[in-house]
Amino acid sequence: MKTTGIIAEYNPFHNGHKYQIETIRKRTGADNIVVVMSGNFVQRGTPAFTDKYLRTSMALYGGADFVFELPVIYATASAGLFALGGVSLLDSLGFVDSICFGSECDDIDILNMTADITFFDEDVFNFVKSGEPYPKARQMAIEKHFPEHTEKICKVLDSPNDILAIEYLKALKLLKSNVKPFTIKRCDSGYNSKDYKNNKDKFISAAAIRNAFAIEHNPTKAISAFVPESTLQILSQNIDRVEINEDMFSNILYYKLRSNIYELAQFFDVSDMLANRIANKIDCYDNFTGFIKTLKTKDYTYSRISRSLLHILLDIRTNSFNIPLPLSLKNNIMSCQVTPYARLLGMNRDKSNILRNIKQTKLITKTADAAEKLTDFAMQIFEKDIFAADIYRQISNNICPDEYRAGIVII
């Protein structure tokens, strides 16, 4: 049986996501689609638009067969670690043959070449450490080693999904994985596009859908042409579980900042420079998004600051990772070292027998069973997931299921 993996956020699930799943089945004849999905917090440093259980339902009704949760320490990390977490989880399952991801260029050869010649993690890390923002640091590293290819590489690196595609390829190389990659061209107007009114086709981005909910009186009507009927029904029936946003976490973030004001640099992605800036600007704190704007400089992008603040909020520290950082091909990294368990969120009941093929990692289907199955360090990572989900649930007025009573979503 052929099985293809997807790494996603589905924030929320839309026609582009369904198109990807349908195209995978047509192109590869895949019998199974396995999704590794972010939980209640996502890679841009914000809470998910709606909780992971609703998004799991959307994915299953949209054609996925299994949905596993990407641990929060990877789901909220920058592109490299986000990709490594997702790829390692797929690799550790032991029955995934290929991985598919969207890209703007839709050229696996160019992406592979770029992945090969952008393995300058140590140089990038050193440039970032010296104060350069990550995008500039990466370009400086490329110019240093491959000046003749800089323009072509940087063009690919300007596109959000191409960037992620390259990170997926780098992760496969780091893990020496046998999982085969392939790409599908994105069909919407762009990853960050918020436009949902001027699209003549059926594809818009998740950002555009979230934007419609923020400004429309009847948002489900506004997005009805751009999401599967199953997604529209799930959103319409659970309208009190959507539109969770970062400013809802403003008070708890302020508490975390104040109570850790002298040890901010211990949190992941928080440099000494950023820690000092936070401490110096804390008296200007108004809310989550307002404080990001206060901290933002040419050296610190909005997303970088948002992720850093989220790591402080969720108590994700530099020592939360069981792998050597920065990432380098010099290090021998194994999948089970990166993601030592696979938390199942949902599945197609007709495919349950496939789970018997999981040998390399610990399958978690019940939260209460984790302590018996996981090693101490794996349990520390898992507890971060539980903590993040509990914070999300509390802020959303306990509407979404709690981690000990929520069962696997089965269709």
Is residue 407 in some structural domain?
Answer: no
Q: Give yes or no for a contact between 234 and 57, defined as CB atoms under 8 angstroms apart.
A: yes
Identify whether residues 114 and 43 lie together within a single domain. yes
For residues 158-180, average pLDDT: 91
Residues 168 and 195 in one domain: yes
pLDDT at 393: 97
Task: In whole angstroms, give the CA distance from residue 205 to residue 158.
Answer: 18
Could you tell me if 313 and 215 lie in one domain? Answer: no
Q: Tell me: do 83 and 185 sit in the same domain.
A: yes
Residue 242: pLDDT band (50, 70, 90) is: very high
Asked which of 320, 348, 381 is the last residue of a domain, the reply is 320
Please check the confidence at residue 341 and state whether its pLDDT lies above 60. Answer: yes
The alpha carbon dihedral of 309, 319, 381, 121 has a sign of positive
Q: Please check whether residues 190 and 221 belong to one and the same domain.
A: yes
Query: Does residue 39 form part of some domain?
Result: yes
C-alpha closest to that of 113 among 149, 143, 144: 149
* Secondary structure element (H or E) that encloses residue 345, with its range: strand 341-347
Average pLDDT, the chain: 92
Domain assignment of residue 329, yes or no: no
Domain of residue 96, residue span: 3-118+157-241
3-state secondary structure of 296: coil
pLDDT at 189 over 60: no
Based on the domain organization, do 100 and 229 belong to the same domain?
A: yes
pLDDT per residue over 98-130, tens digit each?
A: 999 998 888 888 888 788 766 656 777 788 888
CA distances from 407 to 55, 56, 70, 343, 370 (A): 14, 12, 17, 12, 14
Structural domain includes residue 362: no
The residue among 156 and 39 whose pLDDT is bigger is 39
- Confirm if 82 and 43 have CB atoms less than 8 A apart: yes
Residues 250 and 227 in one domain: no
3-state secondary structure of 194: coil
Co-location of 78 and 197 in the same domain:
yes
CA atoms within 13 A on the CB side of 157: 22
Question: Same domain, yes or no, for 251 and 299?
Answer: yes
Shared-domain flag, residues 261 and 191:
no
Q: Mind listing the pLDDT tens digit for each residue in 283-326?
A: 999 999 999 999 999 889 999 999 999 999 999 999 999 898 87
DSSP code per residue over 329-371: TTS---HHHH--EEEEEEE-GGGGGGGGG--SSEEES-GGGHH
Could you tell me if residue 41 is inside a domain?
yes
We report the CATH number of the domain holding residue 219 as 3.40.50.620
**Domain shared by 168 and 266, yes or no:** no
The two tokens of residue 375 are: 């090693």
pLDDT at 136 (0 to 100): 80
Burial label for 108, CB within 10 Å (0-12, 13-18, 19+), is middle
The answer, yes or no, to whether residue 241 has pLDDT greater than 60, is yes
State the pLDDT at residue 138.
74
Number of domains in the chain: 2
* DSSP at 107: -
Residue 92 is assigned to a structural domain of this protein: yes
Spatial distance between the Cα atoms of 49 and 60, rounded to a whole number of angstroms? 18
pTM above 0.85? yes
230 lies in the same domain as 205: yes
Residue 317 pairs with which residues in a beta bridge? 267
Band of residue 86 on the pLDDT scale cut at 50, 70, 90: very high
Residue 118: per-residue pLDDT: 60
Last residue of a domain, one of 320, 354, 375: 320
CA distance 308 to 122: 21
Q: Report the 10 Å Cβ neighbour count for 375.
A: 12
User: d(Cα 143, Cα 328) in Å, to the nearest integer?
Assistant: 19
The one-letter amino acid code at 333 reads I
369/189 Cα distance (integer angstroms): 43
pLDDT at 191 over 60: no
Q: Is residue 384 part of a domain?
A: no
The DSSP H or E segment spanning 341 is strand 341-347
| pLDDT tens figures, 244-293 | 999 999 999 999 999 999 999 999 999 999 999 999 999 999 999 999 99
CA dist 199 → 203, 212, 273, 317 (Å): 7, 13, 42, 42
Q: Mind spelling out the 3-state secondary structure of 113-178?
A: HHHHHCCCHHHHHHHHHCCCCHHHHHHHHHHHHCHHHHHHHHHHCCCHHHHHHHHHHHHHHHCCCC
* In-domain check, residue 262: yes
Q: Render pLDDT for 350-386 as a digit per residue (tens, 0 to 9).
A: 999 999 999 899 999 999 999 999 999 999 999 999 9
Q: Considering only residues 328 and 278, tell me which one the structure prediction assigns the higher pLDDT.
A: 278
Give the residue from 259, 286, 320 where a domain finishes. Answer: 320
Say how far apart CA 105 and CA 24 lie, in whole Å: 17
